[in-house]
Amino acid sequence: MSDLTFETSSASETRALGRRIATHLRPGDVVLLHGDLGAGKTTMVQGIGMALGTRERAQSPTFSLVVDTPLPDGTVFRHIDLYRLEDPAELDTLGFDDLTSDDSATTLIEWPERAMDLLPDTYLLIELRSAGPDKRAITIRPVGLNNRFDDLATS
CA distance 155 to 153: 6
Determine how β-strand 76-81 pairs with β-strand 105-110.
parallel
Binding status of residue 142 toward ligand ADP by CB under 6 A: no
Contacting Mg ion within 95-114 (CB under 5 A): 110
The amino acid sitting at 127 is E
Binding status of residue 100 toward ligand ADP by CB under 6 A: no
Q: Which whole-number Å values give the CA distances from 43 to 14, 63, 95, 108, 150, in the listed order?
A: 7, 19, 26, 12, 23
Q: Give the total of residues touching Mg ion (CB under 5 A).
A: 4
The amino acid sitting at 80 is I
Instruction: Pick from 79, 136, 140, 142 the residue near ligand ADP by CB under 6 A.
Output: 136
Contacting ligand ADP within 32-91 (CB under 6 A): 35, 37-43, 60
Binding status of residue 60 toward Mg ion by CB under 5 A: yes
Per-residue buried b or exposed e for 48-68, using 16+ beta carbons within 10 Å of the residue's own CB: bbbbbebeeebeebeeebbbe
Binding status of residue 75 toward Mg ion by CB under 5 A: no
Shortest Å distance, C-beta 121 to ligand ADP: 24
CA distance 11 to 8: 8
Shortest Å distance, C-beta 20 to ligand ADP: 14
Q: Which residues bind ligand ADP (CB under 6 A)?
A: 8-11, 13-14, 35, 37-43, 60, 110, 134-136
Q: Which residues bind Mg ion (CB under 5 A)?
A: 41-42, 60, 110
